[in-house]
């Protein structure tokens, strides 16, 4: 598969999720990157494996590519103590990696309040991978600033769309009580499932705390 193919799939998912403009996708093949000896923001005093340094670096490179496409001066994505990406002011985003690929979805916060992306390597017919992908994209959308725990069984897929490539994910607990579900669109290309979700502005959810992973808009 080429990075362009994966990028095109993610752009089409973003359109289906309701983003007509104000967003960008970054894609990096993990094997193409030089791995730094140390990645201080990831390691925080502990050595981590080369594979982890490589995927982290590729994710940040994909994020920088997305931010560059979006325009604006700030292209560095920090990492909170909880491991949540902290996006430059004026943007929201999400990162995912497989063994081979790293991708980032970045959106202008004038258009999107939150977003999440997930990719998983699996066959097209592997619906459990597709479902996991949908849940993880939903989790990444809602977790920043809320600390929502991730227990996959708590995240029911309430219904599938007509072609089973869109899902409504039930959000657990008291979170977003006025709007307790989130729509996720999914797709597949050349061995990779992808899932993406966006909460567009205006968003009916409750006020958010300024915590890790979510800057003040």
Residues that bind ligand COA (CB under 6 A): 55-56, 59, 83-85, 94-97, 118, 136, 139-140, 143-144, 149-151, 213
CB of 132 to ligand COA, least distance (A): 8
SS3 call for 188? strand
Q: Which is nearer to ligand COA, 94 or 199 (CB)?
A: 94
Q: Which is nearer to ligand COA, 7 or 144 (CB)?
A: 144
Burial 105-144 (b: 16+ CB within 10 A, else e): bbbbbebbbbbbbbbbebeeeeeebbbbbbbbbbbbbbbb
CB of 190 to ligand COA, least distance (A): 18
Q: Is 90 exposed, middle or buried (0-12, 13-18, 19+ CB in 10 A)?
A: middle
Residues 6+ apart with CB under 8 A from 143: 84, 150, 213
Q: Which is nearer to ligand COA, 96 or 130 (CB)?
A: 96
Q: Please provide the DSSP assignment of 88-130 as one string.
A: PTTEEEEEEE-SSEEEEEEEETTTEEEEEEEEEE--TT-HHHH
CB of 163 to ligand COA, least distance (A): 23
Q: Which is nearer to ligand COA, 85 or 187 (CB)?
A: 85
CB of 162 to ligand COA, least distance (A): 26
Q: Which is nearer to ligand COA, 19 or 155 (CB)?
A: 155
CB of 172 to ligand COA, least distance (A): 11
């Amino acid at each position: 598969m080429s990075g362009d193919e994966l990028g095109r799939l993610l752009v089409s998912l973003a359109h289906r999720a309701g983003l007509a403009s104000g967003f960008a996708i970054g894609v990096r093949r993990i094997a193409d990157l030089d791995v730094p000896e140390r990645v201080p923001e990831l390691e925080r005093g502990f050595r981590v494996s080369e594979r982890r340094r490589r995927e982290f670096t590729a994710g940040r490179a994909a994020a920088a590519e997305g931010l560059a496409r979006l325009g604006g001066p700030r292209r560095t994505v920090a990492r909170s103590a909880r491991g949540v990406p902290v996006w430059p002011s004026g943007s929201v985003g999400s990162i995912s990696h497989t063994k081979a690929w790293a991708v980032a979805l970045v959106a202008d916060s004038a258009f999107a309040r939150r977003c999440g992306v997930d990719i998983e390597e699996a066959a097209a017919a592997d619906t459990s991978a597709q479902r996991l992908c949908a849940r993880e994209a939903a989790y990444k959308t809602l977790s920043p600033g809320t600390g929502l725990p991730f227990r996959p069984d708590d995240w029911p897929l309430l219904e599938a769309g007509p072609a089973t490539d869109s899902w409504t994910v039930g959000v657990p607990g008291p979170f977003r009580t006025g709007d307790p579900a989130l729509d996720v669109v999914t797709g597949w290309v050349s061995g990779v499932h992808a899932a993406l979700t966006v909460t567009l502005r205006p968003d009916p959810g409750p006020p958010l705390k300024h915590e890790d992973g979510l800057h003040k808009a």
